[in-house]
Structure 1
């Protein structure tokens, strides 16, 4: 197998609390922190992360997996992790891009961004909201400027993301500033039925957070911030009755007028898992949150001139109560046996069987990142279907 260089964490920007990110002038090492966060509600399906990375606000960093620090100009895949905009991190071993980079001759970049109130609080005089989205945009700018030094092609960038990462990609498509930073996109189980929150609602939740905190958010300690986040989430649940909707998500303040021009030249692959919602007891059905909004999104993309493909994962691992649940495609694409060995969603399936399916699926993703076209041949016989069957 190709030897992979995994480098980083590398700081791509700095940011004061509740301030926009500021690009760094040179490539500098980072302490490797991920954004402060509570335990993930997805631990019940994914299992807890095996690596306990330090948490802190110096978290705007990324890691790179590359087959060579040369002038290979390989396709680049930038990964935006999920976690409900409140948990996760691109540096976690779950998202190790080594196998994908080696088998597909790609450069894989995992990105951290600010989460929870630190990334998405919307409160007048304190935070403008959407700072996590601004972080992602800055990371893409860093990739554009620097990835050639890591064997990547800055003119052949795919941005891929799962769940909240997929929503982020959808919102990046509204930003004129993101035009030209990626030419392809992969949205995996993006719950577009949640969308972005109207500013009025976001402001009210921001006030709930401030009341729960009881002190200035700009100077409060991280423990206090996380405690107030928890109180805000409970209030949001009482108000909405929706156990899936996070308290802090992107705010609908983006100008959508430029969407057609931004996406007209993109190639986009999107899809969902047949039982996505088993990860969220009591929440709405998969069709309402994933299938129908993603289909409408696909129609908008086609109308604008984008190339569009879709998929549905139907794999239901033996011994798992969750079926084809949310996050199930992740161990097929990223991470290692050690990272996923205690994952409940994989049931009793031995790792060689997981990896055999994974090798096939990684080949499909790599071809899409390289060419912008979909070739499902490698996954023939595996439980995943591609359009037109699921378009």
Structure 2
């Protein structure tokens, strides 16, 4: 992917937070302070057999509220801003990973790309009385968007034209940001890739049960335990939670309803969405990443993603938003996974080196990835500029009929 005529600045600290505490945005003339460059401590991601190993050598640590910015220029051009929230089931990943390098998207679309770290797993979503109220990762995302609003003009971006885009857990995060009053006005458009499905949040009572299970596993005060002890207890809690719930692979720590900043899911939905532009979509074989390849992946994907996302689109429109849906049908040659979860990511972000050897890309030559990537980056970039979707007939992608048209 081309990285010409862009400036990438990373890492940048956007906030600070103590363990199990809410974040506080960095203040100062340019919003910057010394950055650790750390990403949130985490266990290995469950989709490495599909995506491959991430090649970025990043230090894990709790001082992890960092982001990267890629821009065509530090000038006064006030370009559209695209803020990316990564996936990983709220338990793994980082915006600073090379998979999420926004250089090509920035250069080709003339946008400023921001990729965000946020707290994960026990550090971001533990719900345990007297220790953590949960949803700290969502608070981190709100602070990152506040930081962008306050500081992105210094990087050639327009603080009043922000598109937030995310994949999987990042898309679920966007769905929840639509509910949070403090996030209202921090973005004008949204692109939700492969999420949310039917399960958006976990009830508080259930989350507290998982929290107590974790407290038993760690065997000491989580506020003073070592990072290694917390991760080890997270691992054993995940196994116990899977056995108890029957939900194999389901993350033990997840966004929680019934607590700040999501006291009642749906309470602020309509009032926050007026005049918002939204794209939400899925990949044709999305679930193959979790179930393995099989003849039923299209039907299961339809049930678990296409149906709830289409219903969600209708809710968006009823609430005053402009919304449409897509389905990506690209099945890389030689890939046993087909149009699986995450397969669109190499088309949008990262570099050839970052994605080289990814199993989900099969035998596809990088020239094909680059050709299709240019088309998808053009669609996403144009949307960030105008709110208009312009499908490309050369891209294997189906769009819902309710597509916004040029005025």
What TM bracket, shorter-length normalisation?
over 0.9
Tell me which of 231, 241, 245 is aligned to 2:236. 231
Tell me which of 220, 227, 243 is aligned to 1:222. 227
Does the aligned pair in 1 maintain the 2:324–2:402 contact within 8 Å? no
Aligned to 1:168: 173
Aligned to 2:196: 191
Q: Deviations over 1:165-197 (max 9, x none)?
A: 000000000011111100000000013222100
Matched, 1:336 2:351: yes
Matched, 1:325 2:340: yes
Q: Deviations over 1:281-312 (max 9, x none)?
A: 27993233312221121111010110001110
Tell me which of 116, 135, 139 is aligned to 1:111. 116
Aligned to 2:401: 388
Measured in 2, the distance between the counterparts of 1:90 and 1:233 equals 24
Q: Deviations over 1:138-189 (max 9, x none)?
A: 0000000000000000000000000000000000000111111000000000
Aligned to 1:24: 26
Tell me which of 2, 8, 11 is aligned to 1:9. 11
Aligned to 2:128: 123
Measured in 2, the distance between the counterparts of 1:101 and 1:157 equals 14
Q: Secondary structure at the match of 1:257?
A: coil
Tell me which of 245, 269, 272 is aligned to 2:279. 269
Does the aligned pair in 2 maintain the 1:5–1:67 contact within 8 Å? yes
Q: Secondary structure at the match of 1:29?
A: coil
Aligned to 1:137: 142
Does the aligned pair in 2 maintain the 1:89–1:113 contact within 8 Å? yes
* Bigger Cα displacement from structure 2, 129-138 vs 248-257: 248-257
Measured in 1, the distance between the counterparts of 2:148 and 2:89 equals 24
Tell me which of 352, 360, 363 is aligned to 2:367. 352
Aligned to 1:205: 210
Does the aligned pair in 2 maintain the 1:270–1:311 contact within 8 Å? yes
Aligned to 1:91: 96
Q: CA RMSD in A?
A: 1.5
Q: Secondary structure at the match of 2:267?
A: helix
Q: Secondary structure at the match of 1:19?
A: coil
Does the aligned pair in 2 maintain the 1:71–1:148 contact within 8 Å? yes
Aligned to 2:62: 57
How many residue pairs match? The answer is: 389
* Bigger Cα displacement from structure 2, 312-321 vs 286-295: 286-295
Measured in 2, the distance between the counterparts of 1:70 and 1:46 equals 36
Tell me which of 276, 289, 292 is aligned to 1:279. 289
Q: Which runs of 5+ in 1 are unaligned?
A: none
Deviation of 1:243 after TM superposition, in Å, equals 2.4
Aligned to 1:370: 385
Q: Secondary structure at the match of 1:364?
A: helix
- Give the 3 Å change call, closer, same or farther, for CA 42–390 of structure 1 in structure 2: farther
TM-score normalised by L of structure 1: 0.97
Q: Deviations over 1:27-77 (max 9, x none)?
A: 113111000001111101100101121000000011000000001100000
* Bigger Cα displacement from structure 2, 288-297 vs 327-336: 288-297
Does the aligned pair in 2 maintain the 1:311–1:390 contact within 8 Å? no
* Bigger Cα displacement from structure 2, 276-285 vs 44-53: 276-285
Q: Deviations over 1:70-91 (max 9, x none)?
A: 0110000000000000000000
Does the aligned pair in 2 maintain the 1:243–1:280 contact within 8 Å? no
TM-score normalised by L of structure 2: 0.93
Q: Secondary structure at the match of 2:37?
A: coil
Deviation of 1:381 after TM superposition, in Å, equals 2.5
Measured in 2, the distance between the counterparts of 1:32 and 1:123 equals 28
Deviation of 1:390 after TM superposition, in Å, equals 10
